[in-house]
Amino acid sequence: AVVTGTGRDELIEGLRALAQDETRPGVVCPGMAADASGRTAFLFSGQGSQRAGAGAGLYAAEPVFKAAVDEACQHLDPLLGRSLVELMCAEPGTEAARLLDHTYYTQPALFALHLGLYRLLEHHGLKPDFLAGHSVGEISAAHCAGVFSLADAARLIVKRAELMGQLPPGAMASIQATADELTPHLTDQVCVAAYNTPRHTVISGDPDAVADIVEAFTAQGRRVKRLATEHAFHSPHTESVLDAFREAAEQVTYHPPHTPLISNLTGQPAETDQVTTPAYWSAHIRQPVRFADMLTTLAGAGTNTYLDIGPTPTLAPLVHHTLSDGADNNSDAETDTPTVLTTLHPDHHDTHALTTTLAHAHTTTHP
């Protein structure tokens, strides 16, 4: 068991509750899903998960996190022409904070935050058996897997952000629908951008075409969410930047991953001769994210603990929808229920959120 608290009094009350077998916030005991033989996957979030001030608490309190972010920014800042930490730690609502929603800054900021969280989790003894990311998050995953150096990753992420920020106006939306249900509605102007879960699909394309599909599925009573982006990622809109991005990717030195990396393009473990080529990372911009397939691949490989690494828990719900929704049909559903942990949360202070994650991790698969 683990007892957490912000001070002596909370810790004492937690210990008393533990001794009396009482439920209390800050007291974490091993759950039914604890299984030391299971494997762990780190999942790095994509664009849309950004949040002003995310990580600021860790940056002020955790030297390991700060050192990792500062190291990343030593490479990113000269390319961006300004201090990225100032934007990441900006007060919500300020002009600096609003810049975080501009693709040019969003993607590098996510990368720096991902690296800080990865190094901090590693420092506390959490080691992944698999690495994966959603869209731009796969660049973070690939760097942590050793595919490219920090300097190369910084150049790649900034060029990607620069080019994608220059795309024409577009729209994206998440629809509560299977890919088959959406197929009759797709045209040359709108396509599938991500297969997030078996029943949640992201579309991308011209604003009017996306709006028509949103209206049709809203009328059916389906859950629909327009994504906070002015561009249509993973759509034909991106084809105008692929050659320029490939030129940048050709300047990168690639290495075989030292930790298995799950591919957005295939949903399967990435082959070394695939993920170490400029062609892969160019296609990565255009092709859909097969996240549901990635999760089923991880589950099939024995993964039962998933860490959503990012500013806001965006991937954790996808894990639950993909891997837990079918548990009722399983004769041993309890043991098949994955442990899904988040790193940061908008409703909790950074240090509290991360401490809680570490507590749950060390009482499940990381004793």
- Per DSSP, 253 falls in state P
Mean pLDDT for 258-279 is 98
Q: What is the pLDDT of residue 34?
A: 47
Measured from the Cβ of residue 214, the count of other Cβ atoms closer than 10 Å reads: 19
At residue 198, φ and ψ (nearest 5 deg) are -60, -20
Lowest-confidence range among 65-74, 258-267, 322-331, 353-362? 322-331
Residues 48/113/302/352 CA torsion (nearest 10 deg): -100
* Percent of the chain's residues with pLDDT above 70: 87
Amino acid at 258: H
171-226: CATH architecture: 2-Layer Sandwich (3.30)
pLDDT greater than 90 at residue 27? no
Domain boundaries, the chain: 1-30, 38-147+256-270+289-362, 171-226
**171-226 matches 38-147+256-270+289-362 in CATH topology:** no
**Contact present, 175 and 214 (Cβ < 8 Å):** yes
**Alpha-carbon distances of 125 from 139, 167, 334, 358, rounded to whole Å:** 23, 41, 26, 9
| Mean pLDDT value across residues 29-33 | 56
Q: Judge whether residue 1 has pLDDT over 90.
A: no
Tell me: pLDDT of 285 over 70: yes
Distances (CA, A) of 98 to 52, 93, 203, 238, 282: 8, 7, 25, 24, 28
Of residues 9 and 308, more confidently modeled = 308
CATH class of 38-147+256-270+289-362: alpha beta
Residue 46 to residue 117: CA distance in whole angstroms: 15
